[in-house]
Amino acid sequence: MILIIIHFILGRASQNTANGVNQVIAGLAKYGNKNGHRIYVIGLSSSQKKPYVLVERDGFEVESFNQFYKGTFSRIKDLVEDCDIVHLHSVWNNYNLIVASYLRKINKPYVITAHSGLTEDRLRQSRYWFKKCYHTLFQKKLFDKAAGIHALTREESTNLRKHTENANIFVVQNGQDLEGVTLVPKIFGANSAIHIGFIGRLSVEKNIDGLISALALLPVVIKKNITLHLIGPNKADKPRLMESINKLGVEKKIIFEGALYADEKKKALSSLDVYIHPAFSDVVSIAVMEAMSLGLPSVITRTSDMSYFYNSGAFIMVEPDPKDIARGIIEMVNKRGEWPSMSQQAVNLVTYVFNWDVVVKKLLVEYKNCIEYKK
């Protein structure tokens, strides 16, 4: 059964961004097409000057409009009669409400992915009560009436049940594009210097403040050999972080690399010995998968939803508390002799689990179940 699938997104699915949702769209669209299905990606980009732009991506196209009603919504209505299912993405998006309302009216099934947007810490970052009211009055119906809700981890599926009465919540994780890539374990040098790093937005939910505090808590004998590399856009967050860095006296131990993409990002990640993901909340971050694809042993918070993969032996799991993050870094340093084995396990996880070809096949099965469920 060949499916026709529409993804509606805000933006143009650029991979030169720190927003992991764009990487997800790229994987879903490219490998949906590679598996013989027809994938449409319809984007809304208010900053776009032209009314319509057809953007060529790797293995798929994005039809991008700068207006909703005369552009994006009109195109979706043109396509939807012949499509099998529509996939909506993210939360707090008024346009999703409009599209979903129309799809319910014509009895067309849709699924929704929250992309970790309904976790408690993200709700509390700003306008908590507004978000609670918005969800109750408007967004909950979008979730309740969906043919299926796509959770990215088992942990997220439990959280989503707090926000919807929909019984059809299914779990399919994200992945990495391995086309033309041969994954090999990392070869580690023998020198005493240890380079650890994080990649992504340096926003509050990523808990970079906690990571900086953890660095300050390390024993001197370990701290003197460690350099922390923060890779990602930092204009908004660097001033706030620098206050903590200067106060804790670790300014010589931290390098802000800035936003890096494509080969530059890969080169920066490859230069690390250990990857560290200190987030308060995440759903198996794309950044974690990128690091593992390069064979990096990792220190990852339990709240990054990696618990079900802990037995892989690819990473050390910690709590998002500075003392426990420091404990994880110390443990990783003391396990230096096990880094080659951890590197191999990281590569195995990406090869057999976090692989877009594997992931999309699972998601296509769920799409078909949703279509049958809605009949």
Delineate the domains of the chain, giving CATH numbers in brackets: 4-175+355-374 (3.40.50.2000), 194-352 (3.40.50.2000)
Mean pLDDT, rounded, of the chain:
95
Q: With 80 as the cut, is the pLDDT of residue 52 above it?
A: yes
Whole-number Å distance between alpha carbons of 341 and 347: 10
User: What H or E segment, with its residue span, contains residue 374?
Assistant: helix 356-374
- CA 358 to CA 55: how far, in whole Å? 26
For 22, the token pair is: 């764009």
Instruction: Count Cβ atoms below 10 Å from residue 165 Cβ, excluding itself.
Output: 10
Mean pLDDT throughout 240-268?
A: 95
Specify the pLDDT at position 345.
98
Query: What letter represents residue 158's amino acid?
Result: T
Helix (H), strand (E) at residue 301: strand 298-301
| pLDDT of 194 over the 80 cut | yes
Global pTM?
Answer: 0.93
Output phi, psi for 294, to 5 deg.
-95, 5
How many CA atoms lie less than 13 Å away from 68 in the CB half-sphere?
10
Instruction: Render pLDDT for 296-332 as a digit per residue (tens, 0 to 9).
Output: 999 999 999 999 999 999 999 999 999 999 999 999 9
Tell me how far apart the alpha carbons of residues 153 and 242 are, in angstroms, rounded to a whole number: 33
Nearest to 186 by CA among 355, 345, 353, 354: 345
- Is residue 318 within a helix (H) or strand (E), and if so which, with residue range? strand 315-318
Residue 334 has pLDDT above 80, yes or no: yes
- Rounded distance between C-alpha atoms, residue 274 and residue 198, angstroms: 9
